[in-house]
């Protein structure tokens, strides 16, 4: 299946050490990428100075400061929370994609398959049309409506797909396609009903994804949902490995299949809804990143999940850096950058891959 897997039985310790090494390298790559994210922008800040400013803020530096005060404000109030938010969104989407690809036993599954994206888009659009924003304090009405819309859409799809106490994968996918199509059409209808061009542009910008409004408040609001969802997913990593077999075999090996699927769908939906509520729709990350990790390092979810999360964070930070620097001071939509980078690469992978993945 995978060349890397063939060494596992004969050299288990070496195989395990290689995985830890790759994870360590991935963490190092994430730290380097985050540092570059701190430095990138319309106002260029040298990476070394950016690290010194962050260290000084954390109490790790002493002595006089030799950087402009404006740099400290830009870095600590704008760029650092934006990079942190980008990392959280990337981790969530990549891990969610890995979980859905395992649950559906389909490498083309992605985090938006069962309603998160369409529900969030409809909720955000409805908020913009009806209430614009609830206020400047607290979580904005648009983000809150997107979060609630994503959860309600996922709950509706799961409820429609459940038959006789079971949730067949095929029925779940078909229900997802139907509800996604309905909500997408409703979102388009709401956009055409707008009289204010600024509102329509705001909806379009949200639908294409952006982290331009990132701040520490958004990080604090979504962090509990994302950490909680990821913790539940990590706890079920072994069960995801067993679920790669058919459901009857998994049941015979002691996995409560329906209960596990329900728990994982709730955890993934909660974390993804929180991420999408602040970033808008960002495509391809949850599809491509776990696909790449699985092709190179195999399908063991005890390694696949953390490695996908690390590379997902790297991908979103890089994409967001490109979005805000390529045409500075104007920003490209984040979803457009991930699509331009991801679609051709994914087509290349499909052309190169000659064997079954699962």
Instruction: For the chain, give every domain's residue range.
Output: 14-20+81-352
Cβ-in-10-Å burial (0-12, 13-18, 19+) of 164 comes to: exposed
Compute the CA torsion angle 314, 318, 323, 329 (nearest 10 deg). Answer: 120
Tens-digit pLDDT profile for residues 209-227 = 889 888 898 999 999 999 9
- Mean pLDDT for 162-191 is 87
Q: What is the pLDDT of residue 62?
A: 56
Under 8 Å between Cβ of 209 and 146: no
State what percent of residues in the chain have pLDDT above 70. 89
Helix 169-192 vs helix 197-207: crossing angle, to nearest 10: 160
Is the pTM here over 0.75, yes or no? yes
Q: What is the pLDDT of residue 14?
A: 75
Task: State the CB neighbour count (10 A cutoff) for residue 291.
Answer: 24
- Mean pLDDT for 95-100 is 94
Q: What is the pLDDT of residue 1?
A: 39
Say if residue 206 is preceded by a cis peptide, omega within 30 of 0: no
Please state which architecture CATH assigns to domain 14-20+81-352.
Orthogonal Bundle (1.10)
Rounded to whole angstroms, the Cα distance separating 60 from 64 reads 13
Q: What is the pLDDT of residue 58?
A: 77
Tens-digit pLDDT profile for residues 178-206 = 999 999 999 988 888 877 777 777 788 88
The answer to which of 2-6, 130-134, 346-350, 354-358 has the lowest mean pLDDT is 2-6
Beta bridge partners of 166: 163
pLDDT above 90: residue 67 = no
Rounded to whole angstroms, the Cα distance separating 309 from 312 reads 5
The answer to which of 7-16, 141-150, 301-310, 343-352 has the lowest mean pLDDT is 7-16
- pLDDT band of residue 299 (cuts 50, 70, 90) is confident
User: Which among 142, 143, 139 is positioned nearest to 128, based on CA atoms?
Assistant: 142
Q: What is the pLDDT of residue 46?
A: 85
Q: What is the pLDDT of residue 131?
A: 64
Beta bridge partners of 163: 166
Is residue 104 classed as helix, strand or coil in its secondary structure?
A: coil
Q: What is the pLDDT of residue 358?
A: 45
Is residue 166 classed as helix, strand or coil in its secondary structure?
A: strand
State what percent of residues in the chain have pLDDT above 90. 35
């Amino acid at each position: 299946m995978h060349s890397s897997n063939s060494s596992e039985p004969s050299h288990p310790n070496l195989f395990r050490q290689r995985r830890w090494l790759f994870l360590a390298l991935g963490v190092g790559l994430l730290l380097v990428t985050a540092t570059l994210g701190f430095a990138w922008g319309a106002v260029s800040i040298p990476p070394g100075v950016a690290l010194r400013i962050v260290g000084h803020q954390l109490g790790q530096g002493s002595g006089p400061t030799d950087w402009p005060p404006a740099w400290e404000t830009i870095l600590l109030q704008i760029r650092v929370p934006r990079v942190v938010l980008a990392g959280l969104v990337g981790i969530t989407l990549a891990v969610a994609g890995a979980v859905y690809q395992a649950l559906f036993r389909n490498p083309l599954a992605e985090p938006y398959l069962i309603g998160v994206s369409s529900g969030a888009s409809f909720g955000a659009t409805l908020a913009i049309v009806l209430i614009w924003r609830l206020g400047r304090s607290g979580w904005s009405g648009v983000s809150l409506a997107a979060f609630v819309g994503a959860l309600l859409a996922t709950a509706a799809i799961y409820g429609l797909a459940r038959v006789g106490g079971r949730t067949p994968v095929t029925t779940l996918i078909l229900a997802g396609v139907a509800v996604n199509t309905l909500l997408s059409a409703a979102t388009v209808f709401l956009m055409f009903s707008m009289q204010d061009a600024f509102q329509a542009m705001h909806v379009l910008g949200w639908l294409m994804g952006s982290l331009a409004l990132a701040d520490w408040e958004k990080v604090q609001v979504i962090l509990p949902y994302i950490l909680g969802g990821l913790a539940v997913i990590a706890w079920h990593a072994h069960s995801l490995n067993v679920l790669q077999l058919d459901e009857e075999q998994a049941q015979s090996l002691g996995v409560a299949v329906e209960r596990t699927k329900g728990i994982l769908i709730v955890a993934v939906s909660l974390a993804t809804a929180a991420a999408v509520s602040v970033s808008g729709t960002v495509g391809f990350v949850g599809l491509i990143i776990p696909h790449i990790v699985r092709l190179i390092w195999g399908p063991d979810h005890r390694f696949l999940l953390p490695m996908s999360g690390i590379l997902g964070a790297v991908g979103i930070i890089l994409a967001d850096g490109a979005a805000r620097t390529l045409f500075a001071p104007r920003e490209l939509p984040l979803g457009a950058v991930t699509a331009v980078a991801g679609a051709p690469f994914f087509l290349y992978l499909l052309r190169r891959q000659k064997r079954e993945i699962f």
